[in-house]
A and B are shown apart, each in its own frame.
Chain A
Amino acid sequence: MDLVVVVILQVVASVASLALISVGLAVIFGMMRVINLAHGEFIMLGGYAVIYATRWGVNLWVAMLIVAPLFVGVIGIVVERAVIRFLYGRMIDTMLATWGLSLLLIGAATMIFGNTTTGVSAPLGGISIGQYQTSLYELVLAVIVALVLVGLMVILKRTKAGLIARATMQNPSMAASLGISTSTVYSVTFGAGAALSGMAGALIAPLSGVLPTMGISYVAKAFITVISGGAAIISGTLSASALLGSLNTLATFAATPVIGEVVLLLTAIVLLRILPQGITGKYFRRAL
């Protein structure tokens, strides 16, 4: 019985972490059709932001939820202004440019931070469930991810900024003729996506540590999750994370981590064969 509870908690934690590392990419892809291959490095920068902020005495939670997203969000806006905006409508070129950015950031981080940066420990300690122990932080993380997704939904659905963003996403020329500066919208959206990636990096830093090359572990997984989810940002990310994350965890429990990863990847392939536009290309089409 304890084992069942523990496995369920583990599945929830895995789904949450998959959704967390994918949501930033999903915002940028869903709103702008830009696949940001520097996504992993935005995660990495979020991690470093937390480490340095806490080192300078900022409270850990403030660092994770405010400082890191702000820092990476600003970097995102700079990147958008300097590189991405010249490449709208050229999906492959943006992928290549962001791939270049990814290499550049890895190299720069190696030169600046070195590779023996001390991380931060996970707060909150562990809790016991029968004979098992699990990290309370992982569970809190799942709650935070849920709140972030709900928050994102509220912003997109209920605020004026969200309305403008959705309008621009659906019909940029119409939005522009209504007096909306689409360029600003794109810029802000990219910054918001980057900020979410930065927050993801900040939140996983206590569990995974921070290294200049850490982004590589996440970018392919996030990429696959987002594409499997389809164009809808929130429901797409959530449904794809739920499917892939839970299968991955169950397979890992039943067999080995390698089998877990392979099951995740095979599921994505089969999914795209059946639903070539991703999950939300077929279901929840009107959702966000």
Chain B
Amino acid sequence: MSKRWRTGLSIIAFIAAAAVIYILPSVLELFAIINATIYVSMAILALSLALIWGAGGILSFGQAAFFGLGGYTYAVAAINFGDSTWAVVLAMVVPALFAALLGYFIFWGRIGDVYLGVITLTMTLILYKLFNATAGDAYTIGKARLGGFNGIPSTPPLNLPWDVGTALMPEEIWYIAAGLLLLFYFGSRWLLSTAFGRVVISIRENERRTELLGYDVRRYKLGIFTIGGAMAGVAGILFANCVFVSPTMFSLFYNAQVIIWVTVGGVGTLFGPIVGAIALQMLVAKLGTMNGLDPNVVRGAILILFVLLVPKGIMPVLQSAFERLRARSPVPPEPAAPRSVAPPVPKHEAGKPEAALTVGGGS
């Protein structure tokens, strides 16, 4: 594919996606729009992990920490200010700052691999336990009771900037959520095509070599980690608007779920995790309406089968099928990246360079 061709395709994809987002509320019933907004907020969360794990090679087990912090910051700020405008800004700044601090702690300590996973997971669990322990009267920030396990049910919905009187309707929140997803997706693609993004990807491919080329890898990792944190914070704001904030946002369940979405969608791609998040959310919501089979059995079986049979995720498989079809060549173009060979390699998922750079051809 030539570069020009690809840019054209991107523009077409963008317009098509925008059109779908615009039309959806007039086609779907209200409940479907509200559910779709929840799925989209989850897709943004998945995208944030796709960015730092798929592109940056940093497997965070605690992406839900930023998601939860975004939600809580938004709820507390919106209740206190009465206006959601600054609450939104704060709810992006706080997770980003937290990510920056945590990232500084991790990357300047040269912690990598599974140890990084444990630190991020542990951090989230601490937040989970602390927020769970806020049921008492003492835990009130301004006018907002943190509420412990029960969370903050009375989260105010988004309003027009500086116009408290106009709370947004579900359809309008849908436009915002879906618009943001679109923005973040194309923004991430752009980011990865900049000089900064190229360095981030090269760190994932070979950290030592990048460093020897004179780049301070710690700064680049910190940068992408912080951006991912802010994005997860936005997902938290949207989630707070459609569900509500409670400590479960920090739980092991959400942390693992994001990783599952990204894996099923395809690590190293940006579009795959979005598809993975939305498809699995729809499936799991469906499971709750079928009585008899325990949803955990289905969820577990899907995960095992995916890891065994489609380890690269949906997107790369679909893409290679598509390419094969287009080229009408019987030989599938396998990503020929050098996989690290030594058996007990802690270094994860090496072989996805091509995917990250080219995948995501829109819808």
Contact with A along B102-122 (1 / 0, CB 8 A): 000110011110110011011
Within 8 A of B (CB), among A163-189: 172-173
Within 8 A of B (CB), among A249-287: 256, 258, 261-262, 265-266, 268-269, 272-273, 276-278
Within 8 A of A (CB), among B258-290: 259-260, 263
Q: Which of B59, B307, B349 contacts A100 (CB 8 A)?
A: B307
Provide the bound-state CA to CA distance between A194 and B114, in Å.
Answer: 21
Interface residues on A, range: 35 or more
Query: Separation in Å of the A175 CB from the closest CB of chain B?
Result: 11
Contact A262 B129, beta carbon cutoff 8 Å: yes
What are the residues of chain A within 8 A of B338 when measuring CB–CB? none
Given A99-B256, A227-B114, A273-B109, A88 and B297 touching (CB < 8 A)? no
Provide the bound-state CA to CA distance between A55 and B133, in Å.
Answer: 39
What are the residues of chain B within 8 A of A105 when measuring CB–CB? 300
Interface residues on B, range: 35 or more
What are the residues of chain B within 8 A of A88 when measuring CB–CB? 343-344
Given A93-B307, A110-B294, A216 and B110 touching (CB < 8 A)? no
What are the residues of chain A within 8 A of B303 when measuring CB–CB? 96-97, 99-100, 103
Contact B311 A100, beta carbon cutoff 8 Å: no
Contact B130 A276, beta carbon cutoff 8 Å: no
Contact B59 A106, beta carbon cutoff 8 Å: no
Interchain Cβ contacts within 8 Å, total number: 131
Provide the bound-state CA to CA distance between A172 and B112, in Å.
Answer: 24
Provide the bound-state CA to CA distance between A47 and B133, in Å.
Answer: 29
Contact A258 B115, beta carbon cutoff 8 Å: no
Contact B308 A86, beta carbon cutoff 8 Å: yes
Is B209 located at the chain interface by the 8 A CB criterion? no
16 residue pairs from A and B, CB less than 8 Å apart = A35-B114, A83-B308, A88-B343, A91-B346, A92-B59, A92-B349, A103-B299, A104-B296, A172-B344, A220-B121, A258-B130, A265-B129, A266-B126, A272-B111, A273-B109, A276-B115
Q: Which residues of A are in contact with B by a Cβ distance under 8 Å?
A: 32-33, 35, 83, 86-93, 96-97, 99-108, 110-111, 172-173, 216, 220, 223-224, 227-228, 256, 258, 261-262, 265-266, 268-269, 272-273, 276-278
Q: Which 6 interchain pairs have the tightest Cβ spacing?
A: A100-B303, A104-B300, A107-B296, A103-B300, A107-B297, A107-B294
